[in-house]
Amino acid sequence: MLGGAGSAAPSKAASILEDPEMLKLLGSAPIGRIIGFPGTGVTPAEVAALLDRINAERRIG
């Protein structure tokens, strides 16, 4: 996901996430909308899993 290990080249989503201005824009959008961006390759299941992990870590910390 997002140009992880095994990728020959960074994905479009990964390169977008390297842009500070795009991070600001994305940071203000509801997380579920990320899957609506064409070419991200992020599925609703991946977003749900990431949110579950983040929420679990917040409860622990």
Q: Could you tell me the residue range of the domain that residue 55 belongs to?
A: 12-60
47: pLDDT strictly greater than 60: yes
d(CA 51, CA 38): 21
Whether the Cβ atoms of residue 42 and residue 1 lie closer than 8 Å to each other = yes
- Amino acid identity for residue 58 in this structure: R
pLDDT in tens, 1-39: 444 444 555 677 677 778 888 878 877 878 777 777 777
Whether the Cβ atoms of residue 43 and residue 35 lie closer than 8 Å to each other = yes
Per the structure, the count of domains in the chain is 1
pLDDT of residue 30: 80
Residue 3 placed within a domain:
no
Closest CA to 40 of 28, 21, 26: 26
pLDDT of residue 9: 56
Residue 6 placed within a domain:
no
How crowded is the C-beta side of 49, counted as CA atoms within 13 Å? 6
Give this prediction's pTM: 0.46
